Amino acid sequence: MHVDLQEIMLSEQQIKAKVQELGQRISQDYRGESVVLIGILKGSVIFLADLVRCISVPVVFDFMAVSSYGSGTQSSGVVRVLKDLDHSITGKHVLIVEDIVDTGLTLNYLINNLKSRGAASLKVCTLLDKPERRKVNIQIDYHGFSIPDQFVVGYGLDFNSNYRNFPYIAVLKPAVYQN
């Protein structure tokens, strides 16, 4: 385990099993349909790549990049779109794929933004959820793990662009991000 980590919260095997379960549920719910998966950059990339391989219905994926953190650990609540979708979602079934839902402020902005574009349906899939941090009511349709209010990295999640490559999710030592 890396020296900056306090403990491993979710193992590679636990994540893999959950991603397969989510993929099966999504496939059942969208049976006979195609779905556009919108990965929220950069954190969702690894989750999206694994998830899409577990979905048996036709999928297209696109990406958005948004920022509400900067280099800190607390959401500022001000959302900036850094990269928008490449294709229209009008009339399509859309599934937002997030790595983690924390306060819900960024996701709430995304949901409202994407609803205004005329999607046939809009749902949310997240690997991690911190419900005790929620500031707005968000419906999460596909939910991986509820986790406590700890700063986690790995499997796409980062701190200052580091640690994304770990195949597990771990708690970062406070001394690393409180400096």
Active site residue 84: no
pLDDT digits (tens, 9 = 90+) for 15-35: 999 999 999 999 999 999 999
**pLDDT value at residue 167:** 98
**pLDDT value at residue 67:** 80
Q: What is the rounded distance in angstroms from the CA atom of residue 93 to the CA atom of residue 89?
A: 8
Helices (H), 55-155: 105-115
**pLDDT value at residue 73:** 53
Residue pair 55/36 in contact (Cβ under 8 Å)? The answer is: no
Domain 12-149: CATH class, spelled out: alpha beta
**pLDDT value at residue 69:** 56
Query: Which of 89, 81, 84, 153 shows the shortest CA–CA distance to 121?
Result: 89
**pLDDT value at residue 138:** 93
Query: Which residue pairs, CB below 8 angstroms and at least 24 apart, start in 147-153?
Result: 147/9, 147/10, 150/9, 151/73, 151/177, 152/9, 152/100, 152/128, 153/5
| Residue-by-residue pLDDT tens, the chain, 179 positions | 899 999 999 999 999 999 999 999 999 999 999 999 999 999 999 999 999 999 999 999 999 998 875 545 555 567 888 999 999 999 999 999 999 999 999 999 999 999 999 999 999 999 999 999 999 999 999 999 999 999 999 999 999 999 999 999 999 999 999 87
Q: What is the rounded distance in angstroms from the CA atom of residue 12 to the CA atom of residue 33?
A: 30
Q: Where are the beta strands (DSSP E) in the chain?
A: 5-10, 35-41, 59-67, 80-83, 93-101, 121-129, 142-146, 152-153, 169-172
Sheet with 93-101: strands ordered across: 80-83, 59-67, 35-41, 93-101, 121-129, 142-146
**pLDDT value at residue 78:** 76
Taken in order 124, 173, 175, 130, the sign of the CA dihedral is positive
Out of 102, 129, 141, 149, the active site residue is 102
Query: Which of 69, 117, 67, 127 shows the shortest CA–CA distance to 97?
Result: 127
Rg of the chain, C-alpha, whole Å: 16
